[in-house]
Amino acid sequence: MTLNRTLALILPAWLCAAPPALAGDAHVHGEARLAVAVDGPTLTLMLESPADNLLGFEHAPRNDTERAAVTQLKETLNRPAELFVPTPAAGCAASGTKLASALFAAGHPHAHDTHGAEHTDVEAEYVFHCARPGELAGLEARLFDRFAGLGKLKAEVVGPRGQKAATLSPRQRLLSW
């Protein structure tokens, strides 16, 4: 099985169920998850975060200020090169972005836990194409500069050098592989 096919099978499932390296609550405020796949010249990043980390709330926007915050979030998430910086020598450029969240859809469906609190996640998938993939050795996560509610980013990397897990923070933003 090629790495591309393996990643196509593994990464979507990763967003649904945390692998052992990332075991714990799937929806933890202050924490987000990042799956990184390196396949030749293609770098794929899959980010999953509680909306609270990125917006300060998880409910459907209730006023113009909150609607503007959701719009700004979408605009920010659509600029992956400002959020993630792969090894500069690799010459990577963002080539695709997909966003998903109930907050981005009309008629935000509410998800409630047993205590009645809303929990809404935001998912983003980013694809970078790297001109010199042999130079790609990691990335810097600049999410912490944009999102004050984010304190921890649990990352897992799958690539030609194997698998690796790491936890990034505002003080430790570099993920290497």
How buried is residue 146: exposed, middle or buried, by Cβ count under 10 Å (0-12/13-18/19+)?
middle
pLDDT score, position 167? 98
pLDDT score, position 52? 96
Confidence of residue 20 (pLDDT cuts 50, 70, 90): very low
Confidence of residue 28 (pLDDT cuts 50, 70, 90): confident
Domain borders along the chain are 3-19+30-176
Is the pLDDT assigned to residue 168 strictly greater than 70? yes
Distance of CA 59 to the CA centre of its chain: 20
Average pLDDT (132-144) is: 97
Distance of CA 122 to the CA centre of its chain: 8
How buried is residue 29: exposed, middle or buried, by Cβ count under 10 Å (0-12/13-18/19+)?
middle
pLDDT score, position 141? 98
Alpha helices in the chain (DSSP H): 3-16, 51-55, 64-77, 80-83, 143-146
Average pLDDT (53-81) is: 96
Q: For residues 125 and 98, is the Cβ–Cβ distance under 8 A?
A: yes
Residue environment code for 91-113, b if the CB has 16+ CB neighbours within 10 A, otherwise e: bbebeeeebebbbeeeebeeeee
pLDDT score, position 118? 66
pLDDT tens profile 84-132: 999 999 999 999 999 999 999 855 444 333 333 467 999 999 999 999 9
